């Protein structure tokens, strides 16, 4: 059993579906740790679409920010899908925290899990440099968070157009 | 003979050149199905540069939107280069259609082809979340369209800096 | 000994660290050719962070634009880390040059090196099409520069979340 798996990909790349498949294949009781917040109609619709695609058989825990206790609360014999690190990072930055500290905070939180965890995260650093400083700080923090989690992970998969590549 | 090949890549990644090479290697009569529209000088220049890079020996069909009949019109013993799905998606959205329906419409159109098809498409989902809703809808639709075509394709190639990686 | 290595990746992907490791592994005297300019606090901080991460044992040459003589000035038995082609391209465009000519100018400059060179460069073409023409010209030039250097290189490595993939 892998303790930590990181599933990376761009927007609408199929990364969540791939992560869900990995979790289902474990045969364990599945806990979905959702970091999304339904601020507006667009986000509500996206959350609902993901819920439908995921299907039944999941216990859902909604926790936009304080993921350490949420991870610790899941029994060791279950499995956790954390979807996703990018929305968590957005919540972390919007709450007034310094995004430069986010990689360490996120990594520390993962250490509280007793069950295996599959983390979904976005690649956001392969476009043009954003014009605003907040977006630049976000993409730097996201890149470093991905590096940090990848270094801890047993396996790292990059998903493009629904197709996985094993990076580690 | 592969029936459907998807060539993915970022802007100026060499994806069109790679797709052209795949088509030339087939030894078949080559049909270039162009979805670009020469709205302005920048686009006119890009189309001309691509035409020069492609060289002679192509029958060009220009069709920004209604690709199903264009695909159906090509004889089965020829080969089609559809360049590209991203400009088609832009045309589809600009014409007032719901981009969420684009993946299904595009996939359905591909089913009308009798000749093998090589589709060029862009990866657009690996930057920061766009600030405007129209761009977000576009990149979601593009990601899903790429997933949809990749699932149908016999082969999927990702091109970076002119170098191909076979994803499927 | 490889004469030319290209290390590609997104923002905060770990590409510089990977390139530094490749250079250290050569066992040669290390020259760091820095193209960054400390225009503002953000850039000053980034330069300082990279300097600290790099550690001691480097001779630093700062040259934002005229890299041909800087490359030529390094003895053949040393090794050069050029970090990075993307900042050089930004400097080239800001100085009023046509970015479309940048790939050829950069490639020509590399030809002046007598020592092996590891070039760091960004992938910037996998987001949404930028709204402004200057950014579009930049990302086209960056894509073509990457293709040009990749074609010349003995080895091309793409780094994601700190994990290298050999593309060539």
Looking at per-residue pLDDT, the higher value among C54 and B115 belongs to: B115
Alpha helices in A8-132, H assignment, sequence order: 15-25, 41-54, 67-72, 85-94, 102-110
pLDDT digits (tens, 9 = 90+) for A106-138: 999 999 999 999 999 999 999 999 999 999 999
Compute the distance between CA of residue A156 and CA of residue A145 in angstroms, rounded to an integer: 13
Most C CBs within 10 A among B120, B160, B166, hence the mutation to make, goes to B160
pLDDT digits (tens, 9 = 90+) for A49-83: 888 888 889 999 999 999 999 999 999 999 999 99
pLDDT digits (tens, 9 = 90+) for B2-44: 799 999 999 999 999 999 999 999 999 999 999 998 888 888 8
B12–C139 C-beta distance less than 8 A: yes
pLDDT digits (tens, 9 = 90+) for B52-70: 888 889 999 999 999 999 9
- Longest Cα–Cα distance of chain A, Å, equals 46
Exposed/middle/buried for A150, CB within 10 Å: 0-12, 13-18, 19+?
Answer: buried
Mean model confidence pLDDT for chain B? 95
- Which pair of tokens denotes residue A64? 């936009």
C123–B127 C-beta distance less than 8 A: no
pLDDT in the model for residue C1: 62
C126 vs B contacts (CB less than 8 Å): 10-11, 122-127
Check pLDDT > 80 for residue C2. Answer: no
Most B CBs within 10 A among C107, C131, C143, C150, hence the mutation to make, goes to C143
- Longest Cα–Cα distance of chain C, Å, equals 46
C123–B124 C-beta distance less than 8 A: no
Q: Match 């225009």 to its residue by tokens.
A: C39
DSSP-derived secondary structure letter, C73: T
Segment A6-16 mean pLDDT: 98
Nearest chain C Cα distance for residue A125, angstroms: 5
Size of interface B-C (CB pairs under 8 A): 72
- The helix (run of H) or strand (run of E) holding residue B4 is strand B4-9
pLDDT in the model for residue C99: 97
A130–B126 C-beta distance less than 8 A: no
Partner C contacted by B165 (CB < 8 A)? yes
Check pLDDT > 90 for residue C124. Answer: yes
pLDDT in the model for residue B38: 83
Segment A76-101 mean pLDDT: 97
C151 is in an annotated binding site: no
pLDDT digits (tens, 9 = 90+) for C58-99: 999 999 999 999 999 999 999 999 999 999 999 999 999 999
Size of interface A-C (CB pairs under 8 A): 71
Segment C152-159 mean pLDDT: 98
pLDDT digits (tens, 9 = 90+) for B81-117: 999 999 999 999 999 999 999 999 999 999 999 999 9
Nearest CB to C162; choose among A124, A151, A165: A151
Looking at per-residue pLDDT, the higher value among C38 and B152 belongs to: B152
**Chain C: residue whose CA lies nearest to B165:** C167
Partner A contacted by B127 (CB < 8 A)? yes
Do strands A117-122 and A58-62 pair parallel, antiparallel, or not at all (unpaired)?
unpaired
- Per-residue CA distances from A133 to A44, A99, C14 (Å): 28, 12, 20
B125 is in an annotated binding site: no
B15 is in an annotated binding site: yes
B70 is in an annotated binding site: no
Mean model confidence pLDDT for chain A? 95
Claim: this prediction has a pTM higher than 0.90: yes
Segment A144-162 mean pLDDT: 98
B129–A12 C-beta distance less than 8 A: no
**Chain A: residue whose CA lies nearest to C121:** A126
Of A9-13, B21-25, C1-5, C119-123, where does mean pLDDT reach its minimum?
C1-5
Nearest CB to B12; choose among C125, C128, C165: C125
Looking at per-residue pLDDT, the higher value among C54 and A164 belongs to: A164
**Beta strand segments in B65-144, E:** 79-83, 117-122
Is B18 marked active-site? no
Q: Which domain holds residue C67?
A: 4-166
C54 is in an annotated binding site: yes
Check pLDDT > 70 for residue A1. Answer: no
Burial B102-125 (b: 16+ CB within 10 A, else e): bbebbeebbeebebbbbbbbbbbb
C62 is in an annotated binding site: yes
Check pLDDT > 70 for residue A139. Answer: yes
**Chain B: residue whose CA lies nearest to A158:** B167
Known binding positions of A for GTP: 9-16, 34-36, 51-54, 62, 83
Compute the distance between CA of residue C48 and CA of residue C113 in angstroms, rounded to an integer: 26
**Chain C: residue whose CA lies nearest to B125:** C127
Residues of A marked as catalytic = 50
B119 φ/ψ angles, rounded to the nearest 5 degrees = -100, 130
B111 φ/ψ angles, rounded to the nearest 5 degrees = -65, -15
CATH assignment of the domain containing C65: 3.40.50.300
Q: Which of residues 54-113 of B touch C (CB under 8 A)?
A: none
Query: Domains in chain C: how many in total?
Result: 1
How would residue C49 be classed by pLDDT, with cut points 50, 70 and 90? confident
Bridge partner residues of B156 (DSSP): B6
Nearest CB to C161; choose among A127, A140, A147: A147
- Which pair of tokens denotes residue C45? 């901080």
Partner C contacted by A134 (CB < 8 A)? no
**Chain C: residue whose CA lies nearest to B159:** C167
Nearest CB to A161; choose among B10, B127, B146: B146
pLDDT in the model for residue A160: 98
Nearest to C98 by CA among C140, C47, C36: C140
- What is the number of alpha carbons within 13 Å of residue C131 lying toward its C-beta? 7
User: For chain C, which chains pass the contact test of at least 3 CB pairs under 8 Å?
Assistant: A, B
Q: Please say whether the beta carbons of C100 and C141 come within 8 A.
A: yes
Segment C16-30 mean pLDDT: 97
C161–A149 C-beta distance less than 8 A: yes
């Amino acid at each position: 059993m892998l303790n930590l798996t990181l599933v990376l990909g761009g927007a609408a790349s199929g990364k969540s579906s791939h992560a869900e498949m990995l979790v289902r294949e474990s045969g364990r009781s599945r806990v979905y740790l959702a970091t999304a917040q339904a601020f507006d109609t667009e986000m509500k619709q996206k959350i609902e679409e993901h819920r439908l695609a995921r299907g039944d058989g999941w216990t859902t825990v909604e926790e936009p920010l304080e993921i350490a206790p949420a991870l610790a609360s899941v029994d060791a014999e279950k499995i956790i899908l954390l979807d996703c690190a990018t929305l968590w990072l957005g919540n972390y930055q919007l709450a007034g925290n310094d995004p430069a500290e986010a990689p360490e905070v996120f990594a520390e939180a993962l250490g509280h899990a007793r069950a295996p965890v599959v983390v979904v995260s976005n690649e956001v650093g392969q476009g043009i440099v954003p014009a605003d400083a907040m977006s630049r700080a976000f993409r730097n923090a996201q890149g470093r968070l991905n590096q940090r989690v990848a270094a801890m992970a047993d396996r790292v998969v990059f998903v493009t157009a629904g197709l996985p590549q094993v990076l580690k």
